Amino acid sequence: MTTSTPARSRAEQKREYREQPRRAGIYLIRNTVSGKLLLGSSMNLQGPLNRHRFMLSIGGHPNRALQADWQRLGPDAFEFTIADVVTPQDEEAGPQEDELWLLEQVWIEQTSPFGERGYNLHPRIRDA
């Protein structure tokens, strides 16, 4: 008779996901063919990256230029990366909105992700 470890319940999986530390920071979706990028930020980096990847895969991304390039070039032509993570000044305080705002400004200035260089349509890059 063999014994096996019982599978984790869905409730346990959800609890583990909720308990994972949330990282705030900057992410990039880069077209490796053209070099164009979508710059974004979030207080929880995994959420927007998953959402962008899903929306592109079903053909429903709100950024039409990004969606068109995805359809034309395929998913292998895109990189999804976490570019920078907020390091709180006070380790116990957790990520700070002001620190993320400053990081956003640095990345916007460094990458200029608008027009020919990127997919961003306006300077507000933070996901809700």
- The model's pTM: 0.79
**DSSP H/E element including 84:** strand 78-85
Catalogue all structural domains in the chain, each as residue range(s) with its CATH number: 23-117 (3.40.1440.10)
Q: What is the pLDDT of residues 21-68, one digit of tens each?
A: 678 999 999 999 999 999 999 999 989 999 999 999 999 999 999 999
What is the residue-averaged pLDDT of the chain? 87
